[in-house]
Chains A and B, each alone.
Chain A
């Protein structure tokens, strides 16, 4: 099976709410890095909308349902699941944001200056430089419920640590008094 066929199947599974963790991971990677993948998703979305005669925004709810399902079914014992859930939230942001922009009736975009940056240990810091932009709607969809509880950039930060932790260790270890410790840090400890 070629990559594009695999991607197409994963997208179909996602749109049908039947995506596996592998599907979510594959789609996420593709839509982040490959403009053709995004275009493919748009075409499949349009085709499906025409076939089912659904309003365009309906599919956003389908996507987020898959995400919420993934969140509900999170199992710590499955290392893939953590990645997939993180991936799926990013996916909700990427695809969800796209869906919002496709809506013909304008949704007011509200700038929220000074976003609060949350940490895993519960501490919070007021952002002084960055600004967080949120889209608000008078009608709450399941997608927006996901967005309202998760700062996508926190999820992205965790994903980036997984992606780049080893590279950071490689780049900085030679200067450390304990050169092996950066490599110990780079892998997240296993959850009990």
Chain B
């Protein structure tokens, strides 16, 4: 099962930073989306904007759907092409986040435990989650910068949950040879999928994720960099030259800008690709 996410799974064997009770609690939080179906309405806030969204998640049927209630009166329920969900070991995550639990406020009329995930370095965001006591599902999530600035917040207003048949743990696609490869990765991040055709390289530390795209640099656009932040999602672009060839590298992820820079720094054309 761990074949494709060896680096994430390998840490199963290393000493865990969590005692067994917290390890189990965090694991429930990470696994809940695989074991429970739900339908509910959540409030999503970012960039000073808020919208209500009806969401449907049925992992045993591989069905996910959503409806933006503020988009228009006739906005349809949109089905999303869901891939099988998976999760990492809580001890893996605990290598890079300090994890604390305490009793939390009720969310959507349900009792919760407040979980604080504080990064141990500056390469990831911080999270405050309220996990459902009964199922472990996160019912309220707030994403912060390391400086405490709120980037994104979402919270269920109402939710109906039921156990799902356990879906098969289906790890992501094995990394395959592509035209580009990372010379190194920021600490804690592993490659989940390598670029296939026009698809991205995907990296994760088990919670934070980022996708990296490589394209030809538009002709005569000078090297440079820029970024745009939408809620918790950073888009970082860099024009650069490698071996005399111009590349436009784009990193999209729920990560700080310096993590995106490290990823862009590390991407290389493979010598054997051409």
Which residues of A line the B interface, CB within 8 A?
31-32, 38, 90, 93-94, 97-98, 101, 115, 117-121, 125, 127-135, 151-158, 160-161, 164-165, 167-168, 170-181, 183-185, 187-190, 192
Contacts and interface: CB of A to CB of B under 8 A. Distances in A.
B236 interface: yes
Given A178-B33, A180-B55, A185-B230, A153 B220 contact: no
Q: Is chain B's binding surface mostly helix, strand, loop or mixed?
A: strand
Given A90-B218, A115-B225, A171-B200, A161 B30 contact: no
A115 B222 contact: no
Contact of B211 (A128, A172, A187): A172
A88 B49 CA distance: 27
Contacts of B229: 119-121
Contact of B85 (A154, A167, A174): A174
Interface string B108-143: 000000000000000000000100000001100100
A129 B32 CA distance: 39
A154 B228 contact: yes
* SS class, residues of chain A in contact with chain B: helix
B76 interface: no
Given A94-B220, A175-B206, A177-B30, A161 B230 contact: yes
A94 B252 contact: no
Interface residues of B, number: 76
A117 B218 contact: no
A177 B33 contact: yes
B60 interface: no
7 contacts: A125-B257, A165-B233, A171-B199, A176-B33, A177-B29, A180-B53, A185-B233
Given A171-B193, A178-B141, A179-B33, A94 B233 contact: no
Given A120-B47, A131-B224, A183-B66, A174 B80 contact: no
Contacts of B80: 173, 180, 183
Contact of A115 (B66, B137, B224): B224
B150 to A, nearest CB: 11
Contacts of A120: 47, 228-230
Contacts of A177: 29-30, 32-33, 87, 129, 137-138, 141, 207
B31 to A, nearest CB: 9
A156 B237 contact: yes
B261 to A, nearest CB: 5
Given A97-B221, A178-B141, A158 B235 contact: yes
Nearest to A134: B222
A190 B173 CA distance: 34
A129 B222 contact: no
A145 to B, nearest CB: 17
A168 B232 CA distance: 13
A98 B193 CA distance: 36
Contacts of A183: 64, 66, 80
A120 to B, nearest CB: 6
Contacts of B32: 177
Nearest to A97: B220
Contacts of A184: 44, 51, 53, 66, 68, 154
